[in-house]
Amino acid sequence: MLPLTFLAAFVSATPLASVQAETAILAGGCFWCVESDLEKLPGVRDVVSGYAGGQTQNPTYKNYERGGHREVVKVDFDETKISYGDLVGIFLRTVDVTDPGGQFCDRGFGYSTAIYPLDQKQAAAAKAEIDKANKSLGGKVVTPIESSAVFWPAEDYHQAYYKSNKRTLTRFGYVTRAEAYKGYRKACGRDARVKSVWGGEAYKGLPKAGS
């Protein structure tokens, strides 16, 4: 598994014609939900669920929080179609940036929000978006801008969970992962809470609960 420092070196060595991709690492609680929200944005090429921010190597779903990691997504996007700042601005409006203890029904550090910029340019853009959000919400934003972190992909079964047709036994019965995700999202009240925090500034592309 290769750290992002290797990825950056690889990208810098590729032909200029292909160097339009950027990478963002964002923590917004349940990575299934963040993946679902951001993957639909124009200019986003790929979203991968994973872990970042901790001290342990090769974290897993069972131990990532103990190692100081959060659930995150790695977003690969085309900067000619969507800027890093715009991506962060939309992301902030899909989560509860006022909650330091987790997100929605998921509690604990591993589910808390954060932004992991990969360079100073990203850090400056993230700060600008946090400042805008704070102005809108009266200084209530608790989402931190962290130091650059290595991204560790989550297990295969977590990837694209929200649209998987593979069946699994859950509290919602023996259903597809996509159906389980919809049930989870609705039960967690994620979208309703985002709208209550952001009001008219909530990102309008959020799926309807249970849809």
Question: Catalytic residue numbers?
Answer: 30
Whether 64 and 15 have beta carbons less than 8 Å apart is answered as no
Q: What are phi and psi of 141, to 5 degrees?
A: -70, 125
Give the Å distances, CA to CA, from 119 to 66, 116, 123, 180, 195.
26, 9, 6, 37, 31
Q: How far apart are CA 129 and CA 104, in angstroms?
A: 22
Q: Quick one: the chain helix, strand, coil %, rounded to 5?
A: 40, 20, 40
Q: How far apart are CA 51 and CA 60, in angstroms?
A: 8
Q: How far apart are CA 72 and CA 99, in angstroms?
A: 16
